[in-house]
Chains A and B, each alone.
Chain A
């Protein structure tokens, strides 16, 4: 089903992901390993957001909420039984004796996130434009509130601890490669093409027979699945977290990566994640260097957020489609010359 250009796009996009373990291995530093792993997890989140937002044209704030659902589900399922009595004293007895392997728990977490998305989102998918964005924001608030108050499962607003670390760079990078393929595949699938048609002109697309809410629904479910998966990976990497990890700050970072890279393409998602992560780490380094050297009488704070926000604004003004624009990297003319499309 995928044509040559899409296959080429896939291989070009996984190159930087596959280089990560190599690059980090050479440097052999724990904090580099940490940055690279978080990058891969963020990449899965950004790809998930691209699946819905890029193809449907509707900004979704709820994305990080589904990450939280995946994180908590996998945490509850995979936590060692002896830790459960300590970390989650009120846990339901049927869950208290379960201890699944982390990978299985992460997959179930993704499925649960997808299921929740499927159940709550169908009526929302009829909405377009501002109404849809505001509703998704409300959905994030609802998910967040539930996470904060469902103490039996989440330990309330307090930190949930006691998870075994299971996610390493190889698992994260491997998953990211699979997710790149999944995002590309959805984009080129029948539902993906129609969803993009709806995005560009609702009236014309519906007028030729596209089922608007069902198409958006498919995109939303896949997007939530990917977010849930990333949440599970992240939970088993960071091992202790609270509901606040899945709220506005993370939403802003993920959104910034996608907007700067370009939400219309999978290439944009990959490029944005790498570019923003590298810029972020450099800025953090600069910030801490300035503070250590005491260049200013008071410490500099928030440099990373301010610069990211400014970069987002600049992108939206100068290149509203994001840096990568509307064409996948494999469709660029330079590659077309070497790999002509035989599928005419």
Chain B
């Protein structure tokens, strides 16, 4: 594990590159050495004014897999996603994407590396139409206006949003907002997709169809997915692996079957009687 880390870290001291153009040759250079597509947070610690939000958490998401990040409220799930996307600077530890050190990159450059996210509280562009919301994401990843429009059309169809394509984003229902945000996150053809509570506020049928959509994304688009959600049923059916946080520490990770039987997980998350859904 340490081996993989040394290469990017060697380059790191004083090495501040702020633009994508400089990173593309770097990316292809490393890509040749190790073609492994992996988003990895290594020994991440985060302090919020004395409160330890994350404590030496290591998490890996490989291309093509769905990792479920679960844990009780305040266990640091969203903070970990914020660290991965550069919105929160870790106090210690490193984040790499396909062996490029992205720990100190700005959120913008991380996004351009192909890491895309949605937010716990939906953040849509409220005065843009649904279609424009998705087009904007495609444009920011270098699409022309025309190809962005085409891409938006495809995603709208995929997510069943065609009926609202010309509505402003601030007129949508809650479930539609969530779907638009996921479609927007996909518009830049990300390598890794981080979803923070994608099914929150959706009814049973809606989250069921969302599950079907999300389940086939990794193989279709060759992306790795990290999902946070409180719907345990959904998480257990969707995830290939689970990663459990409690009070900022990893208390278990592995296959769904393995994790749900761990006593510390049962105690911290599912309730001590062990009868979680």
Interface residues of A (CB under 8 A from B): 1, 188-190, 193-194, 196-197, 199-201, 203-212, 264, 326-327, 331, 341, 343-344
- Given that A196-B125, A208-B116, A208-B188 are contacting pairs, would A203 and B144 also be in contact in the complex, using a CB cutoff of 8 Å? no
In the complex, are the beta carbons of B111 and A208 less than 8 A apart? yes
Encode contact with A along B201-229: 1 for CB under 8 Å, 0 otherwise. Answer: 00000000000000000000000000000
Residue of B108, B127, B149, B188 near A264 (CB, 8 A) is B127
Say whether B93 faces chain A, with CB atoms less than 8 Å apart.
no
Once bound together, how far apart are the Cα atoms of A272 and B253, in whole Å?
60
A199 to B128, CA, bound (A): 10
- Bound: A327/B167 CA distance, A: 10
Q: Is the CB of B127 within 8 A of A208?
A: no
**Smallest Cβ distance from A190 to chain B, in angstroms?**
5
Once bound together, how far apart are the Cα atoms of A197 and B111, in whole Å? Answer: 15
From A193, A211, A264, A341, give the contact of B136 (CB < 8 A): A193
Among the listed A208, A264, A327, which residue makes an inter-chain contact with B140, where contact means beta carbons less than 8 Å apart?
A208
Q: Interface size on B (CB < 8 Å)?
A: 36
Given A190-B148, A203-B123, 5 further pairs, Cβ under 8 A: A193-B136, A194-B140, A205-B136, A326-B127, A326-B168
The reply to whether B136 and A206 contact each other, CB–CB distance below 8 Å, is no
Q: What is the minimal beta-carbon distance from B135 to any residue of chain A, in angstroms?
A: 6
Q: Are A193 and B139 in contact (CB under 8 A)?
A: yes
Complex Cα spacing A341 to B148, Å: 16
The 23 sampled A-B contact pairs (Cβ below 8 Å) are: A1-B146, A189-B145, A190-B139, A193-B135, A193-B139, A197-B125, A197-B132, A197-B136, A200-B128, A203-B107, A204-B124, A204-B125, A205-B125, A207-B111, A207-B117, A208-B140, A208-B188, A209-B112, A209-B188, A212-B108, A264-B127, A326-B168, A344-B153
Per-residue contact bits, chain B 127-153, to A (CB 8 Å; 1 contact, 0 not): 110001101110111001110110001
Interface assignment of B103: CB less than 8 Å from any CB of chain A:
no
Instruction: Select B128's contact among A196, A341, A344, beta carbons within 8 Å.
Output: A196
| A193-B136, A197-B136, A201-B123 known; A207-B87 Cβ under 8 A | yes
Interface residues in B139-196 by Cβ distance below 8 A to A read: 139-141, 144-146, 148-149, 153, 166, 168-169, 184-185, 188
Residues of chain B having any CB pair with chain A under 8 Å: 85, 87, 106-108, 111-112, 116-117, 119, 123-128, 132-133, 135-137, 139-141, 144-146, 148-149, 153, 166, 168-169, 184-185, 188
Nearest CB on B from A133, distance (A): 19
Chain A residues with Cβ below 8 Å from B149 are 343
Residue numbers in A under 8 Å from B184 (CB-CB): 208
Taking a contact as CB atoms under 8 Å apart, the answer to whether A196 and B107 are in contact is no
Residues of B within 8 A of A203 (CB): 87, 107, 119, 123
Q: Within the assembled complex, what's the spacing in Å between the Cα atoms of A335 and B156?
A: 23
Closest to B149 in A: A343
A51 to chain B, nearest CB (A): 16
Cα A336 to Cα B185 with chains together (Å): 29
Bound CA–CA A343/B147 (angstroms): 12
In the bound complex, do residue B107 and residue A197 qualify as a contact, i.e. CB atoms below 8 Å apart?
Answer: no
Given A201-B125, A207-B85, check contact A193 B141 (CB 8 Å). no
Q: Are A210 and B140 in contact (CB under 8 A)?
A: yes
Which B residues are CB-close (under 8 A) to A344? 153
- CA of A279 to CA of B105 in the docked complex: distance in angstroms? 53
Name the B residues within 8 Å of A331 (CB-CB).
166
Inter-chain CA distance A206–B116, complex, in Å, is: 11
| Inter-subunit contact B145/A190 (CB<8 Å) | yes
Cα of A252 to Cα of B108 in the assembled complex, Å: 36
- CA A208 – CA B142 in complex, angstroms? 12
A210 and B168 CA atoms in complex are apart in Å by: 20
Cα separation A306 to B217 with both chains bound (whole Å): 59
Among A196, A204, A210, the residue within 8 A (CB) of B127 is: A196
The smallest beta-carbon distance between A127 and chain B, in angstroms, is 17
CA distance A193 to B136 in the complex (A): 6
What's the minimum C-beta distance from A201 to chain B, rounded to whole angstroms?
A: 5
Chain B residues in 8 Å Cβ range of A197:
125, 128, 132-133, 136, 140
Q: What residues of chain A lie closer than 8 Å to B112, measured between beta carbons?
A: 209
